[in-house]
Amino acid sequence: MKSIHILYTFIFTVTVISVISGCRKELEYVPESYLSPEQVYADEAGSIAGITGIYKQFQTLKKSEHSLLGNIGTDEGKTTEFVPTWGGYWLQLSALSSYDKTQLSAQSDVVYYYWQRLYQAVGNANVAIRYISAGTVAEPVKSRLLGEARFLRAMGYFYLVQYFGDIPMPTDTPDADKEENGYPRTPAADVYQLITSDLQYASDNLPDKSKMEKGRTNKQAAQALLGKVYLTIKDYPNAKKALDPLLNTSETRLMDNFADLFKEENENNIESLFEFQYTTESGHTQNITEILGSWNMGSNQPGGGGHVALPTAYAANIYPLQDSFRKGATLRSVYYDGNGNPGLNDWWRDAGKPHIKKYEQKANQQSNASSRNVYYLRYADVLLMYAEVLNETGQTTQALPYINQVRRRAKVDDLQTVIGNTPTQQQLRDSLVTERMKELMFEGWRWFDLKRWGLLVQRTKMYNTDAANNMEEPKHLLYPIPYTELIANKRITNQNSGY
Amino acid sequence: MNRFLLMILLVFTAPAIYGQQRSVSGQVIDASTREALPNATISIVGQTGSAQLTNEAGNFVITINGRANLVVSYAGYEPSTVAVTAGQTNITVSLTKLVAGMDEVVVIGYGTQKRKDITSAISSISADQIAEMPVTSVNMAMQGRVPGLQITSGGNQPGAGTIALIRGINSINTVNGPLYVVDGVITTGDIRELNPDDIESIDVLKDASAAAIYGSRASEGVILITTKKAKIGRASINYHGYYGVQKVVKAFDFIDGKDYELLRRLAYYDEGGNKMFLNDTTSDKRFERQIFSSLELESIRNGKSYDWPSRILQVAPITSHTISVSNGNDKNRIYLSGNYYDQDGIIKNSNFKRYSITSNGETMITQALKASINLNIAHTDNKILNQEVYYNALTMSPLYPFTDAQGNNTVVLDPTVGTSDAIINNPEILTRNPQIKNNDRILGNIAFEYKIIKDLLFRTSFATDIYYDKTMYYAPRTVNVNKSYTLGGYGSIANFNYRDFTSENTLSYNFKLNKDHDFSALAGFTFEKRRQEWNAMYGSGFPSDKTTYKNMALASNRDIVSDFFNWAIQSQLARVIYKFKDRYVFNASIRRDGVSYFGENNRFGVYPSFSAAWRLIDEPFMNAVKLKGVLSDAKIRSGYGVVGSYNRTYESVYSKMAPSAYPFNSSTAVTGYQVDFYRLANKDLKWENQKQFNLGLDLSFLNNRILFNADYYKKNNQNLLMDLQLAPSSPYNYKTINVAAMSTKGFEFRIKADVIKTQNFTWQSEFNFSTYKSQVTKLLAGVDSLRPNLKAGEAPNSLIIDYVYDGIYQISDSVAARAAGALPGSVRIKDLNGDGKYNMYDMTTIGRTTPKGWGGFWNYWNYKGFGLTVFANYMFGHSIFNKAWQDYQYSNGRRLLMKEGMNFWTEKITDARGNVIVEENTNTNIPRPNAFGKAVKTLPGGTSSFAVQKGDFIKVRNITLSYDFSKTLIDKAKLRSLTLYVQFLDPFTITKYTGVDPEISQLPSGGSWSGASYDIYPRYKTTLIGVKVGL
């Protein structure tokens, strides 16, 4: 009895002691399934993967109705009559087209998501720049990666500063206090300072387009975007300086045929400087094709394929008879079901009105899961920007050849046939207003172009009936700072005027 | 205690009085009724294996050596020790029945205590109470029975979970629910795997002084469940089975196809005033075709209307069988039980099945060493329908035929909506494709108790909780899931599982200093470790609908997600209970928890408690009062304790990257990473904690015929975790911080009475009431409101914030209507801040979802074996946001309305030919039908105070009529007992609330009270018959 007594006591004691000693270590557990930024950016492969993640942010931003910003709420595009009837979020989206007094407010979820996603893109770029700058990645890869990150950050800030004016501006220098309590509004001029310095770095350090993997940003894209930024802030000499190298490079040129620009087999073509990549892979598709009411090819059920936005009546009629190639590649008026039978979508409220055809996809694809890429910058834009720079610096006649390059590719007569051989500066400005719409319709630039020209409110009220009664200047030259930002950011107290 | 000393003395002196062997016979009887007690246990002190039972007449014969001391025990009676003197051959032992409640043993966590010595707020439920109603889960067995405990059902669908709140909400962001401890093992979740028939008792530790022994996990209270163990005595077999049917209780009465057609026409006509929508005279009917599908037009032509809700509803059976075996002697005891439970839902194809086995056993290895095992193995099989099913059936166009000409379900397409959202999932197709959720759970422990020396007991146990949850779902081509409708099917499999291992080691020591000082001390060490995994795969684009989720590799688009975590908790605990003169009881406990889920600075927390009770009744000066018999018990309890709240997550503590691939060159996506900006890491996080004070009073009157318990408490919850919204530009979304505080004051009482107690007729009655008031006392510095429904000075997450409904704009209000961007016939709301704009600044508190009080009322009558139980629970003072009620009255031309909705605002409308379509109706509070949301345009969120209703109710939960067969009949059938019963569950509810169920306030996963009632699974009532047989 006695020995058993001792044995039990011994077993219990051993058990207790072993458990006690084992568990202290267990408390110091760090979750195994979490990957920290330090682990990711520890080597070159990780750093490259981090940069990849920034591209993804823009792919997400651009894949659905957010890509309509820039197109709708202008003289070029509007939401369909259906959209407000879906209520809630969609009502708010339609307000970006109609500038509805109650729905376009700081509470707009559409504006909020747009803001949030751009800042997450910028945030990822900041993290990448921070870790790669301090990291061990060898040159020339290091400069290339930083160039990509800085290009993408500039792209994010360029959208933000144009839409919102003075904005919070986190950079790659971490600031724990501001992360928690908020970054103050930085004057737009300072934001442009960061954007131009980022793009200058990218232009200097990124390899040529042909040396970069397709779909990545590159020297030529950086130059073009830098030119666009300078043009926007009306710094014409610097804009010209930035764009000049693009006119004498073999890295890019116009495609021969306008319609070929919008064929899936020609994605990442010679004219394209930078475009957002989509594939058939789950998570990498876009539904712009669907929301623009494109052909409902893959579905053999009625109802697949929607229509959220379409050109205004003005835009739909902007192409003169001669401009049929661009018109034919840009607009559609006939709809098909999956079997190729026309006319099934006649229950659309806006049935019969032309829709955008540019994002049309190959047959047998789900329209809401399209693999079509979306352009950001292409060479035709560069030529038109260059013409604008020349015109604004008084070199109106010198600007004509650049516009004509674009028009000739579209098989349209030279601009001189319309406005004569010696147009005035204003005549050329007016021509650019329509030329850019005809060339770049629904490629995301219209809102910014109009704002740059000081025509946003005037022309939108004139050609977009939904907005006619609602738009005000200067209120609608900026979007409202989202409500969540105003509430959560202790260093922002002022809303954009009018909201 | 004297008796105990005597026993000890006898044990040691027994060998000295050895004499010759002889037989002693006798009878065991009830001291008051003088009735014989069959199956009472007789054993000789100091002689193991000597135990035997009395026969049917209460008689026994036992062999002793000369003189002996006999211990006689019988369940529910005070055991008695009788000395058999030399020469005595016949004895009569009379046993005294235990006074109800007084010597009842209460489980207090790592030990037990007698009810009369309890110092804190602990409520108990017995097996008898649980057996009254067939319930699926432990929680439902407690509903309305425990003061201070609020049980909310997560829904009416079979297998829906429940949420238990003890004394209100204790946190702002998370509602974990109470800690469930089964046979000493700390578990997770609401233990729905446990068959309620296997439960011996439930003890609810309500206040912090009781719960503090469970430390950092106890802030929402602790529910201790003790499963049934075998009793020493005759082997028994029990069977309990029931069968019933459930029928829907209709909440709304809907319009038919003809009215629906009218509303749709009006809703589209209203937009542009095009009379072609009212009566399309064009040759190709192109206006009608814009708003009705061809199937609908056919129904209109043929005057057909289809009642979709009835199509998917059914009268559903419910059945349960439990068989248990129990046997035990003074060395070994075993209890085995098996249960099969099968409940069909009143919507076709929803179902919950449970198969469970319980086996509890214990054995005395030596006099000093005892080993025991408790094991529960359960499998549940739940077919869950998407909430969308009933909503779709309710909102579906009644013009849609159930099937096409071939008898196949049609894919329903709304012709007025232009995206893939146009596909309204056919509710009947949805019912054929439920989500299947299988759970397997093994909950068990092995324990050894070793008596090192007298009164010093070492207990060690190893417990395990192995949980495996698997959900499988397949949506065929005919169902639209995430717009995957045309992708060719959508399948998913998700696996969640964890393994908990807990080691508990305690040392307890009881000793008496002299007659007046009684100590009971406990010290222990516990360690718990969990390994948890979650992984899921989602696929779409299957070549056929045949293989479903069973072959996920066939999907052309696939997604995989997974995670993997460990958790560890290490604790030390100690408790001392000191009793002075049996009248003053003091209880002090402390627990120190170390956990893995906080940063290194804050891994340890200490949780002390102190409580005391004063048994007033036992004071000498009370003797006079006691003798009069009016007051039979009086006790005052008071306690204070600190407990913590846990939230098993690493999300808020560590920063991490998430996958973010990108397809360069439009080809296969390459790996990428993005920062997970959802939360900013915070390594300084620590526990939420709660300090609670409790004051209680226990009284009983008229020889315990009336029992009264009341408790007042006040608690302060501090360091509450909140997700601080960060500026989106930061670019983080949230940072979790310990910041908020709230306080709650509450009161609860229970009265239990034997109203009538005669030979043939008894009436027992029990009533309880609970109330509390919570308020947030601190949010962030300088901020009194973080989100609309969370405000300092108000109960957390209890506010319904929306616009104030102000009637309908009339023709005479045209100018005001226009200014608000509306037209006559639109909803008018109050411009509270008078700025002429209607925006979120005009929202205000329009209701509170926390009740002012709730409780239960229970009655039991018995006349000569016929029993009648009526049990009702009630709640009052809370509002419910009945969005459904608004939606089913405001027509957008697409939603089905209830009949009241036909009283909409309208001017007189005629079609192009001058036929009157509707007459003027302006004296109403329902806006005009409009398809484009214009009639509710003043409501940016689409809702207003129109939808807020009082939720007060009295719900009769159970009426049971039972009959216990008489003893003579049972004897003939060689049975021990036989009971038959008929039961009506949820037969009726008294309420003014017009929604589905005033009791179900949906708790979203975030844990905040939304108080909203929407497209929920309908309520039903059940009628069943059951039988209980004892062999």
pLDDT in tens, B224-261: 999 998 888 778 999 999 999 999 988 778 899 999 99
A82 with B662: Cβ contact below 8 A:
no
Q: What are phi and psi of B710, to 5 degrees?
A: -140, 150
CB interface of A with B, residues 203-262, below 8 Å:
213-216
Contact B559 A489 (CB under 8 A): no
Structure tokens at A388: 């604008």
Written as six digits, the tokens of B728 are 């989106």
Of B418, B557, B664, Cβ closest to residue A216: B664
Q: Does the CB of A298 have a partner CB in chain B at under 8 Å?
A: yes
| ipTM exceeding 0.85, yes/no | yes
Per-residue pLDDT reduced to its tens digit, B382-414: 999 887 788 788 878 899 888 877 877 776 665
Which is nearest to A345 in space by CA: B487, B415, B486? B415
Q: Among positive and negative, which fits the CA dihedral B83, B88, B89, B93?
A: negative
Q: Tens digit of pLDDT for each residue in B842-857?
A: 888 888 888 899 999 9
A-contacting residues in B 885-924 (Cβ below 8 Å): none
CA distance A369 to A306: 12
Q: Is B303 left (phi over 0), alpha (psi -120 to 50) or beta?
A: left
Tokens, residue B635 = 């006790």
B932 vs A contacts (CB less than 8 Å): 84-85
- Which residue shows structure tokens 């000499």? A237
Q: Does A265 contact B at CB distance below 8 Å?
A: no
The candidate with the shortest Cα–Cα distance to B68, out of B3, B130, B14, is: B14
Residue B927 gets which letter from DSSP? P
| Average per-residue pLDDT for chain B | 85
* Residue B342: exposure state from Cβ atoms within 10 A (0-12, 13-18, ≥19): middle
Res B1006 pLDDT > 50: no
Nearest CA in chain B to A298: B486
How high is the pLDDT of residue A364?
A: 58
Q: Is A19 on the interface with B (CB under 8 A)?
A: yes
Please state, in angstroms and rounded to a whole number, the distance separating the CA atoms of residues B975 and B394: 51
Model pLDDT, residue B825: 92
Burial B70-84 (b: 16+ CB within 10 A, else e): bbbbbeebeebbbeb
Residue whose token pair is 């009336």: B706
Contact status of B835 with chain A (Cβ, < 8 Å):
no
pLDDT confidence of residue B99: 54
Instruction: Render the burial of A311-349: b for 16+ CB within 10 Å, e for the rest.
Output: bbebbbebbeeebebbbebbbbeebbbbeeeeebbebbb
- Stretch B175-193: mean pLDDT, rounded? 86
In order of B166, B795, B799, the CA distances from B848 in angstroms are: 19, 9, 5
A443 or A332: which carries more pLDDT confidence? Answer: A443
- Give yes or no for residue B485 having a pLDDT over 70: no
Nearest to B728 among A124, A299, A484 (CB): A484
pLDDT above 90 for B458: yes
The residues facing B125 across adjacent strands are B202
The answer to whether the CB atoms of A116 and B728 lie below 8 A apart is yes
Give ∠ CA A436-A440-A441 in degrees, rounded to 5. 105
User: Is residue B478 helix, strand or coil?
Assistant: coil
Name which of A23, A127, A347 is nearest B415 (Cβ-Cβ): A347
Selected residues 445-484 of chain A with any CB under 8 Å from a CB in chain B: 482-484
- Mutate which: B665, B674, B786, B826, vs A, most A CBs within 10 A: B674
* pLDDT for the residue numbered A303: 35
Q: What does CATH list as the number for A44-205?
A: 1.25.40.390
A99 vs B: CB within 8 A = no
Instruction: Indicate which of B506, B673, B790 best probes the interface with A, i.e. most A CBs within 10 Å of its own CB.
Output: B673
Stated as kind and residue range, the H or E segment containing B715 is strand B706-725
Query: What 8-state DSSP symbol labels residue B621?
Result: G
Lowest mean per-residue pLDDT among A339-353, B85-99, B348-362, B472-486: A339-353
Does the CB of A348 have a partner CB in chain B at under 8 Å?
A: yes
Q: What is the pLDDT of residues B921-934, one digit of tens each?
A: 999 999 999 887 77
pTM for the full model?
Answer: 0.80
Q: Can you give the pLDDT at residue A1?
A: 47
Right CATH number for B2-95 from 2.60.40.10, 2.30.110.10, 2.60.40.1120, 3.20.20.370? 2.60.40.1120
Instruction: Using a CB–CB cutoff of 8 Å, tell me whether B243 touches chain A.
Output: no
Which of the given ranges, A122-136, B132-146, B508-522, has the highest pLDDT on average? A122-136
Work out the pLDDT band at A22, boundaries 50, 70, 90: low
Distance to chain A for B513, nearest Cα, Å: 27
% of chain A exceeding 90 in pLDDT: 69
**Residue B550, SS3?**
helix
Mutate to test the interface with B, among A85, A86, A484 (most CBs of B within 10 A): A85
List of chain B residues whose C-beta atoms are within 8 Å of the C-beta of residue A483: 840
Backbone φ and ψ for B445, nearest 5 degrees, come out as: -150, 150
Please list every residue in chain B whose beta carbon sits closer than 8 Å to the beta carbon of residue A281. Answer: 557, 663, 668-669
The answer to whether B725 and A484 have CB atoms below 8 angstroms apart is: yes
For the cut 90, the answer to whether the pLDDT of residue A275 exceeds it is yes
B595 CB neighbours in chain A (<8 A) are 27
Which residue type is seen at B871?
A: F
Q: Please check whether residue B376 touches A, CB under 8 A.
A: no
Give tens-digit pLDDT for B119-145. Answer: 999 999 888 888 777 777 788 888 888
Sorted by where each begins, the domain ranges of chain B are: 2-95
Gap between the Cα atoms of A363 and A380, Å rounded: 28
> Does B702 touch chain A if contact means CB atoms closer than 8 Å?
no
Q: Do A120 and B650 touch (CB under 8 A)?
A: no
Give tens-digit pLDDT for A391-401: 999 999 999 99
pLDDT (average), residues A431-453:
97
Q: Do B420 and A306 touch (CB under 8 A)?
A: yes
Query: How far apart are alpha carbons B668 and B675 in whole angstroms?
Result: 22
The closest CB to that of A49, out of B603, B666, B672, belongs to: B672
* Percent residues over pLDDT 90 in chain B: 42
pLDDT at A19: 61
Please answer yes or no on whether B674 and A54 come within 8 Å at the CB atom.
yes
The model's confidence at residue B884, banded by pLDDT at 50, 70 and 90, is confident
Facing residue for A59 by CB, picked from B458, B662, B677: B662
- Phi/psi at A116 (nearest 5 deg)? -65, -45
As to burial, measured by CB atoms within 10 angstroms (0-12 exposed, 13-18 middle, 19+ buried), residue B546 is exposed
Neighbouring CB atoms inside 10 A of A53's CB total 25
The answer to whether B367 contacts chain A (CB < 8 Å) is no
Range among A361-375, B170-184, B573-587, B1006-1020 with highest mean pLDDT value: B573-587
Q: From CA B1031, how far away is CA B1019, in angstroms rounded?
A: 38
When CB atoms are compared, the residue of B286, B656, B725 closest to A34 is: B656
If you average pLDDT over residues B29-53, what whole number do you get?
A: 77
Q: How far apart are CA B639 and CA B65, in angstroms?
A: 52
B655 touches chain A (CB under 8 A): yes
Per-residue confidence band for A13, with pLDDT thresholds at 50, 70 and 90:
low
Q: Supply the pLDDT for residue A346.
A: 45
Chain A residues lying within 8 Å of B674, measured CB to CB: 53-54, 56-57, 120, 124
